[in-house]
Amino acid sequence: MNDSKQTDPSLTSAIQNVPALAVEVHDLHCAYGKTEAVRGLNLRVPGGRCYGLFGRNGAGKSTTIKCLLNLLRPQSGDIKVFGLSPQKDDVAVKSRVGYVPEHVSFHPWMTVARVLRYHSAFRLHWNHDLQSQLTACFDLDPKKRVDAMSKGMRSQLALICAVCHEPDLLLLDEPTSGLDPIIRREFLQTVIGAYMDSAPGQKTVLVSTHLIAEWEGLIDEFTIVEKGRARITMQTDKAREHCRRIHARWPGTVPDLPAELGYREPDETEGAARLLTTKYTPEQEDNLRALGAETVEVEPLTLEEIFVATSAMPNEQEGRREL
Amino acid sequence: MHIEINYKSGKPAYLQIVEQVQISAASGTLRSGDQLPSIRDLAEQLRINRNTVARAYTELDHLGVTATRHGLGVFIADFANQLSTAARKQLAQEAIDAAIVQARHLDISDEEFMRIAEASLISFNKRRGESK
């Protein structure tokens, strides 16, 4: 009975709360000519997590990821990947990182087998079993040429190239946007699962996406990026517990509501208010009733709803907000 | 064992697993000694992160609902012995409090609430009698 109470060590390591940081970005600025894509972004990605970078098109997600890989040179700011600078320790960082870009491009004349051989040649370590397993799972024909492949198949090939050297950090830039729903499922379940399972608690995924619903169950923590800055950073569990839309209704007109009750969403009907809060407590309902609200309904939000709702909020609290 | 994660429930996913296993164990759907799926299998089945499943299993162990046998897997513990009366009462209390809050929101009168609770108890006991 005694030993049955002992917890599996791999099980505890996977959920420890204080892992080392895989990625640390401080006050990053990056511009394309006169266009500032990233404007003072801060980001801390703990190791062993599946981290989401959510944002609309043009928010600065891809630019940030490219800076992590030293594919773009930022104007200013500090970047550390596993404590190393991507610029100064280019090879050391790249050897530990797998990357699937938003727009995949291979030499069009290469076959699947050739692409894989080519990519493996750049790596000290290559898991050939994983390569065959994933090639079979995606049903990719090794003899097929890249220029005869669909967009989705190229993304799958890029993913195989990114995970087979078993990196400690997997950077995915809008990875599922070109994939059909069946492949997306496969992608999320099999690939991310197998990757994170290969060394529980040590493999980190940083994924940028606006298809948040697809990633709902996989994301441990996320940052919403807006106009080149981190708007909101939250742990997914905390977000589910504390983000609410409160629908309140008054017999007459809505009185002035204190700001701490939440952000008041526009387009409300007469006598009704919709409040968006990231710090929900049941007392807020009591407070609304004390202010004369007749009915108070609390609506929990999915990650996607949180993203959509917060992007409409005025941006008076910029930078990192933690719960 | 059927577990469903509802992202609209406002509850962390790990907690939803914990609660559903607890309920299955209390209702007799899961019996002492039954094995839970591996972390990997459940993560794939529910399309969730393995960290979430690991956290749920650690919490279930901590609550004494399950016992992890190293290298073998996670099993439902001898439920009645594992949880003290006080702890079991507290669990029930929390669930009842949540139901009361919900009923208030839905404008259900206390009398109506008691009627629903009684009817649920009767049908639950009936179902449990059948499964035994």
- State which H helix or E strand residue B20 sits in: helix B13-27
- Asked if A301's CB is within 8 angstroms of B10's CB, the reply is yes
Give the span between the Cα atoms of A301 and A311, in whole angstroms: 14
Q: Which residue has the higher pLDDT, B34 or B89?
A: B34
Say if residue A283 is exposed, middle or buried (CB neighbours under 10 Å; 0-12, 13-18, 19+): exposed
Q: A182-217 burial, b for 16+ CB within 10 Å, e for fewer?
A: ebbebbbbebbbbbbbeebbebbbbbbbbbbebbbb
Report the relative pairing of strands A221-226 and A50-55 from DSSP bridges.
Answer: parallel
Give the residue ranges of DSSP H helices in A76-188.
90-94, 112-121, 128-137, 151-163, 181-186
Question: Which residue from A220, A300, A303 is facing B49, i.e. has the nearest CB?
Answer: A220
Mean pLDDT rounded to a whole number for chain B: 85
Residue-level pLDDT at A175 = 80
Residue A106: phi, psi to the nearest 5? Answer: -120, 170
Residues on chain A touching B5 (C-beta within 8 angstroms):
217
Rounded to a whole number of angstroms, the distance between the first and last alpha carbons of chain A is 39
Q: Which residues share a beta bridge with A215?
A: none
Which candidate from B10, B11, B50 shows the least CB-CB separation from A196? B50
Q: CA dist A43 to A19, A80, A84, A235, A239, Å?
A: 15, 10, 15, 13, 17
Contact by Cβ (8 Å): A101, A162: no
Number of neighbours of residue A124 by Cβ within 10 angstroms: 6
CB B1 within 8 A of CB B37: yes
Three-state DSSP state, A315 = coil
Please tell me which of the candidates A15, A50, A190 has its beta carbon nearest to residue B55: A15
Query: Taking CB atoms and an 8 Å cutoff, what residues of chain A touch B72?
Result: none
Environment class of A147 (CB within 10 Å of its CB; exposed 0-12, middle 13-18, buried 19+):
exposed
Residue A170: closest CA among A90, A81, A77: A81
What does DSSP assign to residue A309?
A: H
Collapsing DSSP to helix, strand or coil, A19 comes out as: coil
Q: Is B70 helix (H, G, I), strand (E, B) or coil?
A: coil
Chain B partners within 8 Å of A189 (Cβ): 44, 47
| CA dist., res. A290 & res. B129, Å (int) | 46
A114/A106 Cα distance (integer angstroms): 11
Q: Which two tokens stand for residue A158?
A: 């890029």
Structure tokens at B78: 């001898």
| Cβ pair A204, A21 in contact under 8 A | no
CA-based torsion, A301, A302, A305, A310: positive or negative: positive
For residue A278, list chain B residues with Cβ-Cβ distance below 8 A. none
The per-residue pLDDT for A23 is 96
> Complex ipTM, two decimals?
0.75
pLDDT at B132 over 60: no
Which pLDDT score, from 0 to 100, does residue A104 have?
87
- Helix (H, G, I), strand (E, B), or coil: what is residue A134? helix
Contact at CB, A11 and B39, closer than 8 angstroms: yes
For the record, the structure tokens of A83 come out as 């404590």
Give residue-wise pLDDT tens across range B78-111: 764 455 566 667 778 888 888 888 888 888 899 9
Among A289, A298, A297, A299, which residue's Cα sits nearest to residue A251?
Answer: A289
pLDDT at A27: 95
Give the three-state DSSP class for A222.
strand
* CB-CB contact of A223 with A206 (8 Å): no
CB-nearest partner of A237 from B14, B44, B46: B14
- Residues near A309 by beta carbon (within 8 Å), at least 6 away in sequence: A245, A265, A276, A301
Whether the CA torsion A299, A303, A304, A306 is positive or negative: it is: positive
Structure tokens belonging to residue A192: 């991310």
- Predicted confidence (pLDDT) at residue B57 exceeds the cutoff of 90: yes
Indicate yes or no: CB of B12 within 8 angstroms of CB of A240.
yes
Q: Which residues of A touch B105 (CB under 8 A)?
A: 296-298
- A190-219 pLDDT per residue, tens: 788 888 888 878 899 999 988 888 888 899
Greatest Cα pair distance, chain A, in angstroms, is 72
CB A29 within 8 A of CB B96: no
Distance from CA of A272 to the nearest CA of B (A): 16
What DSSP state is assigned to residue B36? Answer: P
Low-confidence stretches of chain A (pLDDT < 50) are 1-18, 317-323
Contacts of B88 (CB under 8 A, 6+ apart): none
